[in-house]
Amino acid sequence: MDVYGLIGNPVGHSLSPPMHEAGYEALGIDARYVTFEPDPDDAVRAVEGAAALGVAGLNVTIPFKRDVLAAVDPDPLAERIGAVNTVVFPDPDEDGGEGGTPRGYNTDAAGVTRSFERHGVSLDGSDAVVVGAGGAGRAAAFALSDAGASVHVANRTTERATDLAAEVPGATGGGLAGLDERVPAADVLVNATSVGMEENATPVPADLLHADLAVLDAVYTPTETRLLREAAAAGATTIEGAWMLLFQGVEAFERWTGEDAPVEEMNAALRERLE
């Protein structure tokens, strides 16, 4: 039996175990998905310990996504984003049992692009606005740029937006005041902040939203945020954060197993827990 898992602190709220185990069951894979909660300073030791125990793959969440870079060989996208959320361990049968450096990936980026693809939204040539310059914002900005979008990053702290934009090819950055100009002309909008999770609030005023916009809100609890309700009222295409959560997991599943993930079964398991 293969063991996959998640390291984070805390991880008790994670929806990854039922989602991944639904995938294993659907494909008849003999595997389990478990959670680990190392001390916040023990990211590298946690990865090393998982490798020593024969864990086949790890997901990584807060606060370890940056720290595990020191324990893995990141692929170019994860290196540019500066964060890893998926670790693939070398197969000892392929390297003579010598182990080797685990490979690190950032599947949050695929979570963004595959969510838009699922909803029939073309990113190539689009004008995209990303609100937020933290971890989710970084993943979204690079993902959209790599998909052919022109990206503008807006953040409460302007300097963080401009710093991120300087790393993303062709991107621009600015403060939230610039949304008044950017959103009405945009094709794609991503909320990569936590606004709307704990309160009935939105990072983007409703009067800026329009019917030619596709809106992805990375917040997945609640599944329908105020931003998405107001975007739907404006006629926009709306994409719940649960899709981003699903597809980052789907991407990790496929990297670990080499199989096409059973998306519908994994989505059903996720939605059951979100209801």
170 marked as part of a ligand binding site: no
User: Is 65 an active-site residue?
Assistant: yes
Which pLDDT score is estimated for 275? 77
* Entry pTM: 0.94
238 marked as part of a ligand binding site: no
Cα 24 from Cα 75, distance rounded (Å):
25
132 marked as part of a ligand binding site: yes
Quickly name the fold that domain 2-106+244-274 has: Rossmann fold (3.40.50)
155 marked as part of a ligand binding site: yes
Q: Are 65 and 87 in contact (CB under 8 A)?
A: no
Catalytic residue among 43, 57, 64, 65: 65
Q: What is the pLDDT of residues 74-115, one digit of tens each?
A: 999 999 999 999 999 987 665 544 568 999 999 999 999 999
Q: What is the pLDDT of residues 101-153, one digit of tens each?
A: 999 999 999 999 999 999 999 999 999 999 999 999 999 999 999 999 999 99
Which is nearest to 274 in space by CA: 245, 248, 231?
Answer: 245
For the chain, what are the domain ranges?
2-106+244-274, 109-239
Look up the CATH architecture of domain 109-239. 3-Layer(aba) Sandwich (3.40)
